[in-house]
Amino acid sequence: MKIRYWDRETNTVKEEKVAGERYIKWLYENRIGQGLLEIFVKRKLFSFLYGKCQDTKFST
């Protein structure tokens, strides 16, 4: 999975590798991953905790 984008400086199309691609695919393509996605990840608590984690020095 790659993201294509237009680089305005070089006027070319470039590709960017997706961080965590393997885990994202597992969540969306595997039955267990889909279940975990519904039960845990799509909840306000997860979003809140993930946001708090991203606000720490540990996330840099």
Q: Classify burial at 60, counting beta carbons within 10 Å of its beta carbon; exposed 0-12, middle 13-18, buried 19 or more.
A: exposed
Range of the domain at 16: 2-59
Q: What is residue 2's predicted lDDT score, i.e. its pLDDT? A: 77
Our count of domains for the chain comes to 1
Q: What is residue 38's predicted lDDT score, i.e. its pLDDT? A: 86
pLDDT 10s digits, 3-60: 899 999 999 999 988 888 888 889 889 999 999 888 887 788 888 988 899 999 877 7
pTM of the prediction? 0.47
Are the beta carbons of 6 and 23 closer than 8 angstroms? no
Q: What is residue 43's predicted lDDT score, i.e. its pLDDT? A: 82
